[in-house]
């Protein structure tokens, strides 16, 4: 439970966070103007970034990279070092915030165990993930990201964005690189929608800087997750976080794994995703992931899952395989949280995932009051992240406002936020429970079912049209 520790969590931010983010903002400002011609202010910001790395592993290389960029010699290796320096700062901020959250929750977190050193990874080659990745595809990504850095966000137009299409299409054909492809596709789509960027009053410089940095690091040597271990046991679901975008939907399930043969309960995640178009919204998005009936059935039916040799990555992510899971007995998520969440061990955070926007820790909160968009408990307050409520679920802002028990995710977006995944409320003197995954197998509200029937099955229509085109 996020009980009396709420005050400790929402107190003044950890020392040094503002200073680190100030250095990040300085770098993002330089990136916005572009590295083609570095003025006095951007040069000072880059120098400050290199200065923050002094005495660390990147110290000398960061200073050299800044000198090269200011001199107009912009190579992939220099941009990789600058991206690494920026990631080191955002990672330090993440660590400070996550430590604050773990302390407030009295949550134990397993330490990250670095992989054994096997020698340096050549530029453009892949780490030891079990499969060789085509270096030419990664080089193509780096070339586009380099052009973005040279032009700067203010210099981006359709001619700068267009070359990304070929690189992204090639990445999508390689399963191990689809994560990078989706990342770059999202960045390209945002830039394309903003063209010409020079006319924008305000840039999302932090967001675009985050995407550019991650893209540079992933395209340097390919994705790296570390080796997966097969695990068996019982997965007790806490809730589902549904990410909806114009071209993709992802359902990320948070739960607690009780390992077979004993051992401490572990906080884990798993997820499934599918491509979509922007006309598919609301409950229809669940049909896009209908190829995972075991997982969706457990969400809709509030059931545990019995896992057999399911791959688990070091960062706590289960690689979902339907054939390695079976529906178990009923398991109420609120009961699971009350009994197991407090003692469950949190997973370590992989190095490239150390960013504050990726903080999403499950908590159970009870006995609070809702005042507008704020939850108040024990004299302390935390804002509710209602913008993340998916449209295809029975969980609405009105139910959250009427609730007294909430199972959700604590996030950070410049301040601490609580994103509801499930609530228990009283409506017209009757108890009501709603979860984001309740409609995973289809809506149960008669009004919504009727509206869906009247509107037609957009997913089925699009699949039929796609099949017709493929048959031609």
* Residues 242-280: tens digit of each pLDDT: 998 878 899 999 999 999 988 899 999 999 999 888 888
Q: Does residue 146 share a domain with residue 58?
A: yes
Model confidence at 356, in pLDDT bands (50, 70, 90)?
A: very high
What is the predicted pLDDT for the residue at 275? 84
* Residue 70: CA count within 13 A, CB half-sphere: 17
Range 90-116 average pLDDT: 91
The SS3 assignment for 312 reads strand
The SS3 assignment for 148 reads helix
Lowest mean pLDDT among 121-125, 388-392, 430-434: 121-125
Residue 387 falls within a domain, yes or no? no
Model confidence at 9, in pLDDT bands (50, 70, 90)?
A: confident
Query: What gap in Å lies between CA 96 and CA 77, rounded to an integer?
Result: 29
Range 305-311 average pLDDT: 98
247: its two tokens: 């071209």
Note the pTM of the prediction, 2 decimals.
0.89
Model confidence at 456, in pLDDT bands (50, 70, 90)?
A: low
What is the predicted pLDDT for the residue at 218? 94
Residue 355 falls within a domain, yes or no? no
Q: Does residue 237 share a domain with residue 216?
A: no
What is the predicted pLDDT for the residue at 446? 84
Q: Does residue 204 share a domain with residue 262?
A: no
* Residue 148: CA count within 13 A, CB half-sphere: 29
| Boundary of a domain, candidates 293, 312, 341 | 341
What is the predicted pLDDT for the residue at 116? 57
| Boundary of a domain, candidates 341, 374, 403 | 341
What is the predicted pLDDT for the residue at 471? 57
Query: What gap in Å lies between CA 244 and CA 241, rounded to an integer?
Result: 10
Helices (H) and strands (E) in the chain, counts: 15, 13
CATH of residue 279's domain is 2.40.50
Q: How do 369-371 and 380-384 pair as beta strands?
A: unpaired
Question: Could you give the C-alpha distances from 95 to 89, 101, 347, 391, in angstroms and in order?
Answer: 10, 10, 13, 32
Summarised one tens digit per residue, pLDDT across range 79-100 is 999 999 999 999 999 999 999 9
**Which 8-state DSSP code applies to residue 123?**
T
Q: What is the dihedral of CA 362, 363, 364, 367, to 10 degrees?
A: -150
- Domain ranges, residue 153: 3-111+130-221
Is the per-residue pLDDT at 418 higher than 60? yes
151: its two tokens: 């032009």
Is the per-residue pLDDT at 306 higher than 90? yes
Is the per-residue pLDDT at 378 higher than 90? no
As for how many domains the chain has, the answer is: 2
Is the per-residue pLDDT at 223 higher than 80? no
What is the predicted pLDDT for the residue at 461? 63
Model confidence at 55, in pLDDT bands (50, 70, 90)?
A: confident
Between CA 428 and CA 434, with CA 432 as vertex, the angle to 5 degrees is 140
Q: Does residue 271 share a domain with residue 181?
A: no
Q: Does residue 146 share a domain with residue 62?
A: yes
Q: Note whether 261 and 230 are within 8 A (CB).
A: no
Residue 371 falls within a domain, yes or no? no
Average pLDDT value over all residues in the chain: 90
Is the per-residue pLDDT at 385 higher than 90? yes
Is the per-residue pLDDT at 379 higher than 50? yes
Q: Does residue 310 share a domain with residue 267?
A: yes
Question: Could you give the C-alpha distances from 259 to 166, 304, 311, 339, 409, in angstroms and in order?
Answer: 44, 13, 13, 16, 23
Q: Does residue 281 share a domain with residue 263?
A: yes
What is the predicted pLDDT for the residue at 190? 95
Query: What gap in Å lies between CA 241 and CA 134, rounded to an integer?
Result: 33
Range 459-465 average pLDDT: 66
Query: What gap in Å lies between CA 271 and CA 237, rounded to an integer?
Result: 12
Residue 443 falls within a domain, yes or no? no
Residue 57 falls within a domain, yes or no? yes
Is the per-residue pLDDT at 125 higher than 60? no
| Boundary of a domain, candidates 221, 255, 288 | 221
What is the predicted pLDDT for the residue at 279? 84
**Nearest Cα to Cα of residue 125 among 139, 115, 135:** 135
Query: What gap in Å lies between CA 289 and CA 205, rounded to an integer?
Result: 33
Q: Does residue 318 share a domain with residue 176?
A: no
Q: Does residue 244 share a domain with residue 205?
A: no
Residue 398 falls within a domain, yes or no? no
Residue 460 falls within a domain, yes or no? no
What is the predicted pLDDT for the residue at 335? 97
What is the predicted pLDDT for the residue at 447? 87
Q: Does residue 239 share a domain with residue 213?
A: no
Range 315-338 average pLDDT: 97
Is the per-residue pLDDT at 161 higher than 50? yes
Is the per-residue pLDDT at 129 higher than 60? no
180: its two tokens: 């990078």
Residue 374 falls within a domain, yes or no? no
Q: Does residue 239 share a domain with residue 206?
A: no
Q: Does residue 185 share a domain with residue 274?
A: no
Task: Name the percent of the chain lying above pLDDT 90.
Answer: 74
């Amino acid at each position: 439970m996020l009980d009396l520790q709420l005050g400790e969590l929402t107190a003044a931010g950890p020392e040094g966070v503002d200073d680190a983010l100030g250095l990040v903002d300085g770098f993002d400002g330089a990136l916005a103007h572009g590295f083609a011609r570095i003025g006095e202010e951007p040069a000072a910001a880059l120098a400050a970034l290199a200065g923050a790395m002094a005495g660390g592993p990147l110290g000398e290389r960061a200073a050299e990279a800044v000198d090269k960029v200011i001199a107009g010699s912009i190579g992939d290796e220099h941009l990789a070092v600058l991206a690494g320096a920026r990631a080191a700062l955002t990672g330090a901020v993440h660590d400070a915030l996550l430590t604050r959250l773990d302390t407030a929750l009295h949550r134990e977190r397993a330490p990250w165990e670095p992989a054994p050193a096997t020698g340096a990874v050549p530029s453009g080659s892949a780490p030891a993930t079990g499969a060789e990745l085509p270096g030419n595809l990664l080089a193509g990504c780096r070339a586009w990201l380099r052009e973005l850095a040279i032009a700067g966000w203010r210099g981006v137009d359709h001619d700068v964005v267009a070359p990304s299409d070929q690189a992204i299409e090639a990445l999508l054909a390689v399963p191990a690189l689809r994560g990078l492809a989706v990342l770059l596709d999202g960045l390209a789509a945002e830039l394309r929608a903003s063209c010409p960027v020079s006319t924008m009053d305000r840039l999302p410089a932090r967001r675009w800087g985050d995407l550019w940095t991650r893209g540079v690091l992933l395209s340097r040597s390919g994705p790296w997750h570390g080796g997966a271990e097969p695990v068996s046991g019982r997965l007790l679901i806490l809730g589902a976080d549904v990410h909806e975008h114009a071209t993709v939907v992802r359902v990320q399930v948070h739960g607690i794994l009780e390992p077979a043969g004993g051992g401490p309960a572990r906080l884990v995640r798993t997820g499934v995703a599918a491509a979509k178009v922007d006309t598919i919204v609301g409950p229809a998005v669940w049909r896009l992931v209908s190829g995972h009936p075991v997982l969706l059935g457990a969400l809709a039916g509030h059931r545990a899952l019995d896992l057999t040799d399911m791959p688990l990555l070091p960062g706590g992510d289960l690689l979902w395989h339907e054939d390695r899971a079976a529906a178990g007995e009923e398991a109420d998520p609120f009961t699971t949280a009350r009994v197991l969440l407090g003692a469950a061990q949190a997973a370590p955070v992989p190095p490239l995932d150390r960013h504050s926007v990726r903080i999403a820790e499950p908590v159970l909160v009870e006995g609070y009051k809702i005042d507008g968009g704020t939850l108040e408990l024990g004299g302390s307050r935390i804002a509710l992240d209602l913008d993340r409520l998916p449209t295809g679920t029975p969980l609405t802002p009105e139910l959250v406002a009427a609730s007294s028990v909430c199972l959700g995710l604590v996030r950070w977006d410049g301040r601490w936020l609580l994103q509801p995944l499930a609530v228990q409320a009283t409506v017209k003197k009757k108890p009501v429970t709603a979860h984001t995954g309740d409609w995973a197998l289809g809506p149960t509200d008669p009004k919504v079912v009727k509206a869906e029937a009247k509107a037609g099955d957009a997913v089925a229509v699009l699949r039929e049209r796609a099949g017709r085109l493929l048959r031609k």
